[in-house]
Amino acid sequence: MKFSATILSAALLTTSAIAAPLTERRAARNAARAAARADRISRPAYKPDTKELLKVNATTQEEYSSNWAGAVLIGSQYTSVTGEFTVPTPKAPSGSSSDEQYCASAWVGIDGDTCSSAILQTGIDFCIQGGEVSFDSWYEWYPDYAHDFSGLSISAGDVIKLTVTASSKNSGSAVIENVSSGQSVNHKFSGVDDGDLCETNAEWIVEDFESGGDLVPFTNFGTVTFSNAEATSGGTTVGPSGSTIMDIKQSGSVLTKSSATSNSVTNGSIAAAWADRKRNTGLHWYVKEDWEDGKETDFVSLRLFHLPSFNFHTSYPNSGYRPKNRTSSHNQTHQIIPTKMEGTRPIPTFTNEQLELLTQLRVRADDREYARESIMQEAQIIMGMAATLINLHLGDIPHSSDLILAMMHTLKTRMLGLLEEVVELSVEAQMDEWTECRIFETTG
């Protein structure tokens, strides 16, 4: 929700059945799945709102996409990309239907971000439906559909090496090696006329791919880490360090958390990150003098996340009481000073539904931080417009009454819009805080 300088400047100038036996059900499902894969396709990264760009540090930036999570190098003459990962065990999201198939795909590729005319890619799909998991290996030269490899067995826990190589802008190869079993498959592309590569992107991606014209329901894939991640640019081997980080955001919820080092790219399902972190938080109970009335109150201090640009250390009382200056903020540790340590107490156990809800609350809090920045910028614009109106009215600057009326209408509209947004954010923050506290109270 950030306003660019260009947008802000322009804004100042505008005024505007019966159940079958198990074997039959499985056969029917496999047939339907095979038919669905006939139009399975990976798409270029779709970024519906270019304003949703986060600065992670001086050399890395993060973007939201509805279908890609991972790392993208942007440059020139990328002719090869490789990486290894351990095949995850996909899990159905909480509240999922046993009749629905949930999938994700891990792949490496050339182009598809800043160049969308073609993508040379290869990877593994992992899906779950009704408790059954399945894996498919494939190759693709977008805009053509993906094609399945045959003769490659894949199981959860296998180490898979993916490699794509462009010998020209319309020729190349895709290779998948099951390092665990020693099996490998490959496909050569020659004289492809569907679209030429630009060789400007190298990527390591977990994708919510498309089938039948829609994104497939996204599975909880846990964590996928591409190790030994390398690309060749102009004959030089480079790693993912300094790449653009992308995460999947759908319907207002961020579903992944990605990061990159000099030789690896890690993609994690946010719900899985919650579950992993809560097992290793080291829960502590402190006694601290109460801020309001001098009473001693038990506090629980739980590190919910410890991920780049997503670090929370929030403190909650053990009862319904909350100190009047209790706040939650990003990248900030609350000043809870322990005076003595009490005995060991059980670590709260969260249900999957609670974990998902807590994740959504954290994401919304993150969004509100950016919204506040935009609100402050909008307030400054409104003040500037008001000052301009006063100068026009009191000064000697030539103007028409129509201009004054138009500016007053615009000013009124923007003031009401700003007020509405402030109230909406305030109510949302209060409701989310109440919900968050209730979750911790019921698990205490």
- What 3-state class would DSSP assign to 70? strand
Q: Which residues contact 201 (CB under 8 A, 6 or more apart)?
A: 72, 73, 74, 78, 109, 110, 111, 112, 113, 114, 115
Q: Using DSSP, how many helices (H) and how many strands (E) does the chain show? A: 5, 23
- What 3-state class would DSSP assign to 372? helix
* CB contact at 8 A, 276 and 269: no
Looking at the annotation, which residues are catalytic? Answer: 207
* CB contact at 8 A, 158 and 89: no
User: What is the residue whose two structure tokens read 């759908």?
Assistant: 250
Taking the C-alpha atoms of 372, 373, 375 and 376 in order, what is their torsion angle to the nearest 10 degrees? 120
User: What is the residue whose two structure tokens read 């500037």?
Assistant: 384
Q: From residue 302, how far is each of 269, 297, 310, 323 by CA, in Å?
A: 20, 16, 15, 17
Q: Phi/psi of residue 392, each to 5°?
A: -65, -40
| CA 22 distance to own-chain centroid | 36
H-assigned helices in 14-153: 22-37
- Classify the C-alpha dihedral 68-73-76-82 as positive or negative: negative
